[in-house]
Amino acid sequence: MFDPRSEAMSIDERSALQRHRLWGLVDRLLAAGGVQGRRLKDAGVTGGSDVTLAGLARLPFTTKQDLWDHYPFGMLAVPRDQVAAVHGSSGTRGRPTLVAYTRADLDLWAAMCARSLSCAGAVPGSIVHNAYGYGLFTGGIGVHQGAVALGATVVPMSGGMTGRQVQMLADLRPDILTCTPAYALRLGEAVAEAGVELHALKAGLFGAEPWSEELRAAIERVLPIKAMDIYGLSEVIGPGVATECLEQDGLHVNEDHFVVEAVDPSSGEPVEDGTPGELVFTTPTKQALPLLRYRTGDLASLNRRECACGRTLVRMSKIIGRVDDMIVVRGVNVYPSEVERVLLGSGLVAPHYQLVVDRRSPAVRLLVACEALHGDPRDELVRALHESLGLTAEVFTLPPGTAPRTETGKAVRVVIWEDGRPPLPGLG
């Protein structure tokens, strides 16, 4: 563990720490007088001492729309000259979501990412091959500063240039790989094509997109590693909010700094542990842009059972999907990760695929394009998808190597076909 005192703290001690930090957050939001402070006053909150952990669910939510409405600096809780850096989302859903950091926020973020690397078995002196993208996106710089804080050697490759990545993996012999899960697959293929042996590589931290247990197995077949999930989002801090340990049994949430809830996406009411819900985070120790009950749109369940690694932090499941990523086909609701689970679990196709939602007519179709490992698996996959998900889909097989590969950024698993030529050759 990077910080055993915090990561293995007793439940009672952590609850007391969360309570005091929550009081401080509420006082700061009220003093800042922004949208969050006004909502607290409207809810009858006059100070931090009015708030309890048990009563957290009665406080107002914050949403991404709030960040957009007050773009770029309208939700700061510190003077503008205390902002040391700005990061944010890529803006793939429209406009970017910008988040400000003070120096203390950057130090906190580095410590959280150091915890994440430690979860994967990294130690001072480890070599971390970091193939997350650098820039406004938080992945690359977050893992980079975490490696530095841990005392590891970081190789700042960023994304793309796959041939150069393979050379550096072979020459520098890193023990930790960090990138998106889709790019880990691509690297595994490229390593095999180059005939390179990666004997030093032990573990990988893969995040920035939902991925299934079946994809984990596919990554571990092409790379000699334990593949672990890392979770975060720029609004909360970036990567390092939660991470799987070597037990690979849920992601430990750093709840001394990020108080997590799971709520029903429709009603906003809390759901029981073990029940999937929308993740909601409160950031009691962030300075520049602290958030109270931020609705992430990510779906997962919470688990408070003890972990064999010794950490006492609450664990979240892998992300099932996003509220706004749901595909609706003839009245059936499904998330891309659920389709991935069936495809890869069948053993019939390569771990590269594309889902195409055909909206050219009122009768929406779901087209599943994948690469067959042998024979013609289309009928069997159609049956498997229907039996597992109740979903009627049309399966198309592509020649080997022609399904989209990810060289940089997040994998685009779903594309919408509204008019014109098909997004992939061979679709009809």
**DSSP for 205-230, written as a single string:** EEESS---HHHHHHHHHHSSSEEEEE
Is 167's pLDDT higher than 70? yes
Stretch 349-370: mean pLDDT: 92
pLDDT at 90: 60
- Whether 143 has a pLDDT exceeding 80, the answer reads yes
Q: What is the pLDDT of residue 405?
A: 86
pLDDT at residue 159 tops 60: yes
Instruction: Note the pLDDT tens digit of each residue in 306-347.
Output: 999 999 999 999 999 999 888 888 888 888 989 999 999 999
Given a cut of 50, whether residue 202 has pLDDT beyond it is yes
Contacts of 361 (CB under 8 A, 6+ apart): none
Q: In which residue are the tokens 């010794």 written? A: 310
What sign results for the dihedral spanned by CA atoms 290, 295, 298, 302? positive
- The answer to whether the beta carbons of residues 370 and 348 sit under 8 Å apart is no
Cβ-proximal residues to 25 (8 Å cutoff; 6+ apart), any chain: 48, 282, 283, 284, 285, 290, 292
Nearest C-alpha neighbor of 178 from the set 125, 243, 91: 243
- CB 234, CB 97: distance < 8 Å: yes
- pLDDT value, residue 91: 53
Look at the block and give the residue holding tokens 């009665």: 58
To which H or E segment does residue 19 belong? helix 11-32
Q: Tokens for 69, please give them.
A: 């409405």
Q: Spell out the domains of the chain, with CATH numbers in brackets.
A: 1-323 (3.40.50.12780), 326-417 (3.30.300.30)
Task: Please give the average per-residue pLDDT across 367-374, as a whole number.
Answer: 93
Poorest-confidence range of 12-26, 38-52, 217-231, 356-370? 356-370
Q: What is the pLDDT of residues 109-122, one digit of tens each?
A: 999 999 999 999 99
HSE-up (13 A, CA, CB side) for residue 404: 20
Q: Please check the confidence at residue 95 and state whether its pLDDT lies above 80.
A: no
Would you say residue 240 has pLDDT above 90? yes
Q: How confident is the model at residue 233 (pLDDT cuts 50, 70, 90)?
A: very high
Q: What pLDDT score was predicted for residue 272?
A: 97
Residue 94: its pLDDT value, please? 57
Classified as helix, coil or strand, 206 is: strand
pLDDT of 92: 47
Phi and psi at residue 226, to the nearest 5°: -95, 125
pLDDT tens for each residue of 8-66: 999 999 999 999 999 999 999 999 999 999 999 999 999 999 999 999 999 999 999 99
Of the ranges 83-92, 125-134, 199-208, 239-248, which one carries the lowest mean pLDDT score?
Answer: 83-92
Degrees, nearest 5: CA angle 155-201-4: 80
Average pLDDT across the chain, whole number:
94
